[in-house]
Chain A
C-alpha cells in the first residue's frame, strides 16, 4: 500500500477496512479464550465499503442484529413445510432490507468522511482518520436510526426472527393476536377500571370519615334527646325536672319530627 493523501479517500477507506479487519481478528482470537468480550465484527462490512462503497455491492452490515445464539436457535431441514418457508423468506427479506439501510449508512459515511478530509485541519494519520470516520458514522447513523423506516426495519427484523423460530418449533405460538387497536383499547379500559376503583375507594373513605363525624355529633346529641323525651314523658328523675319541662317536651317533639324527616330524606336518597 502506498502513501496516503487527502486526495485519495479510497486509500483511506481501504486502510481503515484493513485496520478494522485486523483488529477485529485480534479480538476474535482473544475472545476464543477464556475471556468474553462483546465483539462486533465490522471488518467484512468495512472491507466491502472500503472497496469503493458502491451502492448495490454485497455489503454485510455489522452483526449488531445477529440475535443468535438465542436459546434453541437452529435451522432444521424443513424445506417442505410452507410455514417454515414463508417464515424463512420473511426473515431473509427483513435482513436484506436492513443490509440495504446499512449500505446507505456506510456510503453516506464515506461521503461525509471524504468531505471532512478536505478540511485543512483534517488528520493525516490512520488513527485520526479512523476516529473521524467513527464520528461521521455516528452522525449518519443517528439520522437514519431516528427515521420511521429504520425503526420499522428493526421491529420487523426481530419479529421475523421470532416468526422463523416459532416456525422451527421453538416456543409456543401465542393465541391469535388481538389487533393493536384492541390492545390499546383494553389497556385504556383497564386504566379506567383502576381509576374508577380508586375513585370508589376515595368515596368510601370520605363516607366513612363523614359517618364518623356524624356519629360523633349524634353521640353528643342523643343523650340530650333522650333526656328531653324522658322529661317530656315525665319519667325522668325528679331532680332533673325543672320549671321549663313543658318547653323541653316541645323541643323534644320538634327534634323528633326533624329527625324523622331526615331519615325520610336519607331513604329517598338510598
Chain B
C-alpha cells in the first residue's frame, strides 16, 4: 500500500491531542458531583437520609425513597445537572429521598446485611413515612440496593406501597454473570478475617477487570477526542472521580452478600435468611416495576429479569433500557426515558 499514512505522524498527532486533553483536564480541578439541593432528614450509624429539592410543590409530590448500593457512591444518580436521574425525577414531580450509606469504620466490620436491611433501611422508611405522614413508601432500589429493597419488601410488605428495582441482581447464577463466576471460589472467611472491612480498591479492581480492554485502554485513549470540549471533559472527570471513589465494605455484610447471593444464590431458592426470618420473593405482592439494561456487563439483564418468575405481585412490569449499567444513570438517552417512566408508573399507582 503505497499511500498508507505514516503511523509515526499519526501517533504524534494523537499524542498531542491527548496531551492537550490532559492539560485541560488538569485545569478543571477536582470536579464537583452530587450537587442537587438536598437536606439531611435523619442521620444514624452507617447512613444518612437525604431529601431533595424544596418548596410546597415537593410536599405534594409522590414520594420515593432511593436505596442505592453499598459498593459505590450514589452520586452517579446526580452526576451533573444535565445527567442526573434525581433531577429528572424531581422535574417529573416526585418527592425524592435517598439513603447515603456512610463508610464503615474499623468497628463496623461486624455490621451485617440484616443491620442494613432490617435496621438502617427500615429506619429510613419510617423516617420518610413520618415526614410525608404516610404509612407506606414507594421504594426505588438501585443495583445492590435493589436486592436490599426486594428483601425489605418481602419482610415488611405493609411498609412498601410500590417497588421499583433498577439494574438489580435477583438470580446471581445466570450463565453470563461474570462476577458471580469469578467469586464463587473466594474464601470469604479469610478475606474478611484478614482485612476486617473489605477495601474498595479490591472491588474497583474487580469491576475494571470485567472489561479490561475497554475500561483499561480505550476509555483513556478516547480522551484525545475531548480536547477543546470542556463540557465533555467535565463529564469525563466527574465519571472518573465517581469510579475511583469506591468505599470500603463492612466485612460481615460483604461476606454475607457474596456468600449468600453470589456463591449460594439463596434469594431465588427461598433460602435467604435475615434476622432469622426467611426472605421469600413470593411475599412481594405490591406493584413492581423492574428496570434493567440490555447491555449490562455487571448485572446481566437475565439476572434482573429472573424476578418475574419469583415475585408474588400481580402488577409486575418490566422496562428495558438499551444501554449499560452506568449508561442507565447518566446517558442522555436514559435521562429522557427512565426517570419519566418511573415517575409516571409511580404516580399512576399513588
**A interface, CB within 8 angstroms of B:** 1, 3-6, 11, 15, 18-20, 22-24, 26-27, 30, 33-40, 42, 62, 64-67, 69-71, 124-127, 130-131, 133-134, 137-138, 141, 145-146, 150-152, 154-156, 158-159, 162-163, 165-166, 170-175, 177, 183-184, 187-188, 190-191, 193-195, 197-198
- Within the complex, the shortest CB–CB distance from A160 to chain B, in Å, comes to 10
- The reply on B99 being an interface residue by CB < 8 A is no
Q: Is B349 an interface residue (CB 8 A)?
A: no
Contact partner of B215 (CB less than 8 A), chosen from A40, A146, A173, A188, is A40
In the complex, 8 of the A-B residue pairs with CB atoms within 8 angstroms, ordered by the A residue number, are A19-B14, A20-B221, A37-B220, A38-B208, A62-B216, A65-B209, A126-B11, A166-B190
Interface 0/1 of B205-223, CB less than 8 Å to A: 1001111111111101100
Contact of B194 among A3, A151, A152, A166 (CB under 8 A): A166
B contact residues, total (Cβ < 8 Å): 71
* A-side contacts of B243, CB under 8 Å: 38
Which A residue sits closest to B190, measured CB to CB? A162
Is A20 in contact with B217, judged by CB distance below 8 angstroms? yes
- Which B residues from 266 to 299 make CB contacts under 8 A with A? 266, 269-273, 276-278, 280
**Residue pair B4, A66 in contact (C-beta under 8 Å):** no
Q: How far is the CA of A124 from the CA of B181 in the complex (A)?
A: 38
Assess the B205–A65 pair: CB atoms within 8 A: yes
Among residues of B, the one whose C-beta sits closest to the C-beta of A172 is B193
Chain A residues near B186: list those with CB within 8 A.
Answer: 155, 158-159
Partner of A23, one of B18, B190, B215, B269: B18
Q: Is the interface of B mostly helix, strand, loop or mixed?
A: helix
With A and B bound together, what is the CA distance between A265 and B23 in angstroms? 90
Known A-B contacts A4-B4, A171-B193, A187-B264; A137 and B213 likewise in contact (beta carbons under 8 Å)? yes
Q: Please, how many angstroms separate the alpha-carbon atoms of A23 and B25 in the complex? A: 15
Residues 231 to 266 of chain B near chain A (Cβ within 8 Å): 237, 240-241, 243-244, 259-260, 264, 266
A156-B185 contact, Cβ under 8 Å, with A126-B10, A191-B278: yes
A91 to chain B, nearest CB (A): 13
